[in-house]
Copies of this chain bind each other. A is one copy, B any other.
Amino acid sequence: VTAGGAPGDREPTAGGAPGGRRPTTLEEVAALAGVSRATVSRVVNDSPRVSEQAREKVLHAIAELRYMPNRAARTLVTRHAGSIALVVAEPGTRLFGEPYFAGLVRGVSQALAQGTDEQLVLLMRQSKEDSGRLERYLRNGHVDGALIVSLHGRDNLPERLHDAGLPTVLGGRLLRECPVPCVDVDNVGGARTAVGHLLATGRRRVATITGPLDMGAGVDRREGYLRAHADADAAVDERLIVEGDFARSSGYEGARRLLEQAPDLDALFAASDLMALGAMRALAEAGRSVPGDVAVIGFDDSELAAGAYPALSSVRQPMTEMGRQMTRMLLDVIDGVDRELTVTLGTELVLRDSG
């Protein structure tokens, strides 16, 4: 059974019944209640300028007809969509693997719950082909604003949305100048502290598996690694550095490569918990004990870190707070409130068994 038909030629049914029944309109409510459309509208929108008597009648009619206002009509006149988008600029595959996002969504929901009645919708870009449709969706007036996270390299979606006049806020800085407001965490500081700790506890050959180097988080955590070495007057050995992509498998592969090109490593800083976990597997397979032979520290302090065996030390980022801040910033942009363009949140090293 295939869907059939060319793209775009489906039956018009939005909000309508498959069986043909059309949704009730304001007009019908007004007729049943014996008042004008304007009065019904006032009742629906909680205007105080309605008599108790009229309100009563209208509410009865609404209940009886199971009336629900038509969003499109409303949006058309109010220029307000009633929803904001959280855009994850990568395949859902990544999204669902990354415990990272859970806290973010929680924070966004919390901030949204207080102060607005906007519905949060999550949009993913599964493939390159989705881009066009996604951007159209966002610029269409479908949403009142967009939060964008996990943006790679030269993707200029933020600039395009900004130019189109859509209120937009970024999570995680870009590697270029960008006029779009941004909330970031102190990746440099977090990595620096973690690697500093490893060096301070006597590790001499500290390796790292970086994040993707076309992302701020990737570059900055690598920078923190370098600075910690500078802080300790320790030399940096390129053989101790490999690039990953935050996913578990790249941690596994990365660790194997490290074990090959620098078998004398005695510590590892992975730019994500998932990579740290993958790396720990590779270490186990190679017969290296953690933290005996090799100390390991991850980044994210996800649930997985605490649940790992041995429990993984990690740099905690306040994802929930990030979600909240991004949302407040977006609501301010929507409201035309002036604010600082960038906020950076602190991180914290959480030590467990692994290092």
Contact = CB atoms under 8 A, between A and B. Distances in A.
A71 B328 contact: no
B134 A3 contact: no
Interface stretch (A30-38, A48-56, A224-232, A333-341): A333-341
A350 to B, nearest CB: 18
Contacts of A133: 117, 119
Nearest to A134: B119
Contacts of A143: 14
A contact residues, range: 35 or more
Interface stretch (A123-131, A209-217, A264-272): A123-131
B123 A79 contact: no
A122 interface: yes
A197 interface: no
A81 B142 CA distance: 9
25 contacts: A4-B335, A5-B335, A7-B117, A10-B331, A11-B334, A11-B336, A14-B75, A14-B78, A14-B79, A14-B80, A15-B139, A17-B165, A18-B336, A21-B165, A70-B140, A72-B81, A85-B121, A92-B105, A93-B102, A96-B101, A97-B303, A113-B127, A121-B123, A248-B303, A281-B307
B13 A137 contact: no
A95 interface: yes
Interface string A67-97: 0111111011011111101000001110111
B126 A10 contact: no
Contact of A76 (B76, B93, B120): B76
A320 to B, nearest CB: 11
A202 interface: no
A81 B10 CA distance: 11
A165 B21 CA distance: 8
A248 B309 CA distance: 14
A71 B140 contact: yes
Nearest to A247: B303
A3 B114 contact: yes
Q: Taking each of A13, A92, A278, which has the highest tally of chain B beta carbons within 10 Å of its own beta carbon? A: A13
Contact of A1 (B92, B122, B248, B332): B332
A334 B18 contact: yes
A177 B195 CA distance: 58
A137 B15 contact: no
A68 B161 CA distance: 12
A129 B113 contact: yes
Given A3-B114, A119-B137, A96 B102 contact: yes
Contacts of A7: 115-117
Contact of A13 (B18, B140, B307, B334): B334
Contact of A328 (B2, B105, B114, B123): B2
